[in-house]
Amino acid sequence: MADYYETLGVDRNASDDEIKKAYRKLSRKYHPDIAGPEFEDKFKEVNNAYEVLSNPDKRRMYDSGVDPNNPNAGAGGFSGGFGDMGDVFSTFFGSAFGAGSQGPVPRTQPGRDALASATIDLKTAVFGGTAHVKINTFSLCQECGGSGAQGGAQPITCPDCHGQGFMQKVVRTMLGQMMTSAPCERCEGHGTIISNPCPSCMGHGRVRTTRNVGVNVPAGINDNARLRLASQGEVGEGGGAAGDLYIDIRIKSDKQFTRDGDDLHCWIQVPMSWAVLGHDLTIETFDGKQTVSIPAGCQPEDTVTLKGLGVTNLRNSDERGDIVAHVNVLIPTKLDDEERDLIERFSTLHDADAGHVAQASRPQTGQKKGGFFSKLKDALS
Ligand SMILES: [Zn+2]
Ligand SMILES: [Zn+2]
């Protein structure tokens, strides 16, 4: 039976809140879109565990030895119990049974993964580029090369336990005298000792350092994406192999564009006369200045599209989204006498026969709703 508590890294008395927190953290960490497809199984495991432990009935069933995800497998068995029994034995009898399988504890331990975040601007997301992060982790001690011994000397075999890492003792128990073993005190179970520890790392083979890491950001990256740099994480105890470094990417909001998938949206203010007569104007884009052609008769909230000037597609770098410019028509509020005369003359010529006002229960042409604008409003509300 799978150990769901272990999968979520919580203990058996964990509260619902602790379980939820652990799940959120892990499901994010192992999400295949973030961590890569190789984590898909791990991600499923985490979800299975949460499905059971988050449901009080299923959790009770699981605690009694039946896996609700696989109810027949545990029937009559409580296979998970054997692991627990093993622990009970070793607690009672020390390692009397397992002396052969108990070896020295390696001085070198694998390092843990590290997590950092980097903020990039929208232009870097459009074209790709480099993000820089400053991280503070354990890194290899340069002084001893990770051995922990001064001058790069290698640790020597412990004279007390002769490299075994544990000492045998005879103890009295309720079952009579028994041989038991305990970790060697002199070498703390490592089987080796460092007679002259390296002064830089105090024998740990690693030191805390701050370093700058540059990471390649692929074009089209999404906000909150997590990048992985293999073996750039924390160096382990005794100079052990470094874990991985994960970098969460945040994209700064941009003054000129709002991103929607691969498209970039902007809003442009256009004088009434340009909307009526049509006009070519220039806007700033990530590809430099570009011409936007406002067609004659352009209505408020009409859009003009500049093809292929949006965000590079993450999966296909030959493709780019579009720029969608939303037109905001400016109605003049202050007119001098000459302008007023002109508008009045225009009104007489153009609108004298306009007839009755069109009235409807829904927006008509020129007040298009739906699409990106209302999606944006929904997202902000
Ligand atoms: Zn050192
Ligand atoms: Zn020893």
- The model's confidence at residue 118, banded by pLDDT at 50, 70 and 90, is very high
Second CATH level (architecture) for the domain 112-154+193-249: Sandwich (2.60)
Instruction: For residue 101, report the distance from its CA to the centre of ligand 2, in Å.
Output: 17
Neighbours of ion ligand 2 (CB under 5 A): 158, 160-161, 184, 186-187
Q: Locate CATH 2.60.260.20 in the chain.
A: 112-154+193-249, 256-347
- Mean pLDDT, to the nearest integer, of 127-147? 94
pLDDT tens digits along 248-263: 999 999 999 999 999 9
- The model's confidence at residue 237, banded by pLDDT at 50, 70 and 90, is very high
CATH superfamily, domain 256-347, is: Urease metallochaperone UreE, N-terminal domain (2.60.260.20)
Instruction: For residue 161, report the distance from its CA to the centre of ligand 1, in Å.
Output: 25
Residues marked as binding?
Answer: 141, 144, 158, 161, 184, 187, 198, 201
- Mean pLDDT, to the nearest integer, of 317-343? 95
Instruction: For residue 299, report the distance from its CA to the centre of ligand 2, in Å.
Output: 85
Determine the Cα angle at 30 with ends 26 and 34, to 5°. Answer: 125
> How would you classify residue 163: left for phi > 0, otherwise alpha for psi between -120 and 50, otherwise beta?
left
What CATH class has 1-66? Answer: mainly alpha
- Mean pLDDT, to the nearest integer, of 332-343? 95
- Mean pLDDT, to the nearest integer, of 160-187? 85
Does pLDDT of 74 surpass 70?
A: no
- Mean pLDDT, to the nearest integer, of 327-337? 95
pLDDT of residue 380: 53
Residues marked as binding for Zn(2+)?
Answer: 141, 144, 158, 161, 184, 187, 198, 201
- Mean pLDDT, to the nearest integer, of 350-358? 77
pLDDT tens digits along 17-47: 999 999 988 888 888 777 877 888 888 889 8
pLDDT of residue 350: 87
Q: Locate CATH 1.10.287.110 in the chain.
A: 1-66
Q: Tell me what the pLDDT averaged over the chain comes to.
A: 85
Does pLDDT of 165 surpass 70?
A: yes
pLDDT of residue 377: 55
- Mean pLDDT, to the nearest integer, of 133-138? 94
